[in-house]
Amino acid sequence: MRERIYTIIEKSQDHDTISKVYDWYIICIACLSVIPLMFRESTSAITTLETITVYLLFLDYILRWITQDYRAKKHSPWAFLIYPITPFAIMDLISILPSIGLLPKSFMILRLLRLTKVVHYSKSFQHVVNVFKNERKTLLSVLLIAIFYILVSALIMFVYEPKSTFGNFFDALYWATTALTTVGYGDVFPHTDIGKLISMISSLFGVAVIAMPAGIVTGGFLDEIHRDIEEKEKRKIERKKAKEEALHETK
Amino acid sequence: MKQNNVRRYASFMLIGVALNLGLYQIAHIFHLPLWMDSIGTAYVAILLEPTAGLLVAFATNFYQAAIIYDSSSLVYYATSAMAALCIGILMRKNGELCWKRLGKAIACYFVCATLIATLLTIWRTSGVPDSGWERSFFETALGWGLPAPLACLYGTAILKFFDSLLLLVVLPILHTCTPKKYRTITLPQIVSWKHPYFHSKTEE
């Protein structure tokens, strides 16, 4: 029984329809379970939705726990004992606890961790995660450049601008970040000429800094999709070959 | 699992849930100092396997939360799960059902379930039980001068003790009433380090 449960709750293989249905079911439940967060006052319908979704997510947690030995490929009681302290299990439990009154109301936002299930099961999210993994060096260097520029421009602003505009360094950091990302809320702006010059450079530099990672991620995403399609086609051809061979042998 | 086996598992798990809910309602209607909502769980854990018992306990707990209580009662699943785990696992020796172990298994269930339920009540309500009988025993213990956590333990233990006694009587009867062809004869044991099942699998 546990072996079958394990194949169902794990990420679906091409031929396992029940497992595929289970993946979609968990994604739907995870999405539904955050709906109560959108309402300030709770109605009976919201409470019912909360109860049902929490229970279904908890069932998934239990099923994962009782099949942990198959996942860990280690048939020993340790597999079961270790499961609650694995990162995925901790995240699952923390996302459930605020709904059952074991954590104070202020921890309600932890329920958003349920959405990690969507990330876990969704192929598109997996592609994005893979892109970030593959391009982490490039993205990290762009991020470092951005952070360095934000710090330098914030320091210049903080030194040259009057106290009335940038009361503390955090204000300067806030301005530098909004200027570099070209958001520019306009609530804090420079008054001196040097400040205005830095602002102009930030806007120009910001376009380049923001466009670079966007291009890297888009390129990587397309590569991932192409790779996925190629793998699918390869598998198709292999299955076809295997079928033909089987047919040939029976003849 | 083969189709016949699936049908057998599904039928007995349904019977287990019905037993849990039916007996729970009886205890509720007659105001008995018992929960009686783990008998079906233990029965299925013995008859089929502990995993099936865990699922029966979950279904029972879900029904109770949706109809009678709310999602906060989910935490008490841990106590129902103890019935499936303690009785389903400890009753088996090398995977085979061993009735000599019934007393030990139920004693283990009593201790584990009482401790877990008490700790959960202390965490949830600072040790004040919210069910009628538990509250009554809790207040009696407070009257003796016991501190609140111990009084909570006492209140929880009395109900669990009666539950365990009932399990001790009812389980053999239920098992005897079940036709032999529906009983699971052997299961791979999942708690013994020395069991060949694990060694053979690990070596693979």
Per-residue pLDDT at B19:
92
- CA dist list (Å): B146 to A246, B25, B103, B201: 76, 32, 30, 51
Q: Is the pTM of this model over 0.80?
A: no
Residue carrying structure tokens 């079940």? B178
Per-residue pLDDT at A31:
87
Residue carrying structure tokens 């982490």? A136
Contact B63, B101 (CB under 8 A): no
Give burial (CB, 10 Å; 0-12/13-18/19+) of A204.
exposed
**Residue B71: pLDDT above 80?**
no
Q: Where are the beta strands (DSSP E) in A31-129?
A: none
CB contact under 8 A, B66 and A74: no
Residues of A whose CB is below 8 A from B193: 76-77
CA of A44: which chain B residue's CA is closest? B70
Confidence of residue A14 (pLDDT cuts 50, 70, 90): low
Give the DSSP H or E segment for B200.
helix B196-203
Q: Which residues share a beta bridge with B97?
A: B92
Could you give the CA distance from residue A32 to residue A50 in angstroms, rounded to a whole number? Answer: 9
CB contact under 8 A, B191 and A77: yes
CA of A101: which chain B residue's CA is closest? B72
What is the end-to-end Cα distance of chain B in Å, rounded?
A: 22
Confidence of residue A174 (pLDDT cuts 50, 70, 90): very high
Confidence of residue B191 (pLDDT cuts 50, 70, 90): very low
DSSP A72: T
Across A108-117, A166-175, B194-203, the highest mean pLDDT is recorded for A166-175
Could you give the CA distance from residue A97 to residue A52 in angstroms, rounded to a whole number? Answer: 14
- CA dist list (Å): A99 to A70, A109, B52: 29, 10, 26
Inter-axis angle of helices A169-180 and A193-250, nearest 10: 50
Contact B65, B74 (CB under 8 A): yes
Query: A41: helix, coil or strand?
Result: coil
Compute the Cα dihedral for B114, B119, B123, B127 and give only its sign: positive
> What secondary structure does DSSP assign to B12-52, as a single string?
HHHHHHHHHHHHHHHHHHTT-S----SHHHHHHHHHT-HHH
Look at B42-51, B94-103, B170-179, B193-202 and tell me which has the smallest mean pLDDT: B193-202
Distance from CA of B30 to the nearest CA of A (A): 28
Residues of B whose CB is below 8 A from A100: 71-72, 74-75
- The 10 Å Cβ neighbour count of residue B5 is 12
Look at A21-35, A91-105, A183-197, A216-230 and tell me which has the smallest mean pLDDT: A91-105
Compute the Cα dihedral for A19, A23, A25, A29 and give only its sign: positive
Closest among B113, B151, B111 to B134, alpha carbons compared:
B151
Residue carrying structure tokens 């726990």? A65
Per-residue pLDDT at A121:
77
**Residue A215: pLDDT above 60?**
yes
CA of B198: which chain A residue's CA is closest? A75
Backbone torsions φ then ψ of A71, nearest 5 degrees = -70, -45
Could you give the CA distance from residue B16 to residue B174 in angstroms, rounded to a whole number? Answer: 11
- Average pLDDT estimate for A164-178: 88
**Residue A74: pLDDT above 70?**
yes
- Report the residue count for chain B: 204
Instruction: State the count of interchain CB pairs (< 8 A) between A and B.
Output: 63
Query: B186: helix, coil or strand?
Result: strand
Interface of B with A (CB under 8 A): 1, 9, 48-49, 51-52, 54, 58, 61-62, 65-66, 70-72, 74-75, 77, 81, 123-124, 190-191, 193, 197-198, 201-202
What is the residue-averaged pLDDT of chain A?
A: 84
Contact B129, B155 (CB under 8 A): yes
- Average pLDDT estimate for A196-221: 84
- Average pLDDT estimate for A108-132: 80
**Residue B114: pLDDT above 90?**
yes
Look at A109-113, B14-18, B198-202 and tell me which has the smallest mean pLDDT: B198-202
Q: What angle do CA B190, B194, B197 make, to 5 degrees?
A: 55
List, in order, residues 6 or more apart from A23 with CB less than 8 Å away: A11, A12, A121
Give the DSSP H or E segment for A18.
helix A17-33
Could you give the CA distance from residue A55 to residue B64 in angstroms, rounded to a whole number? Answer: 11
Confidence of residue B42 (pLDDT cuts 50, 70, 90): very high
Per-residue pLDDT at B115:
93
- CA dist list (Å): B131 to B31, B69, B138, B155, B170: 11, 11, 10, 10, 24
List, in order, residues 6 or more apart from B166 with CB less than 8 Å away: B34, B36, B39
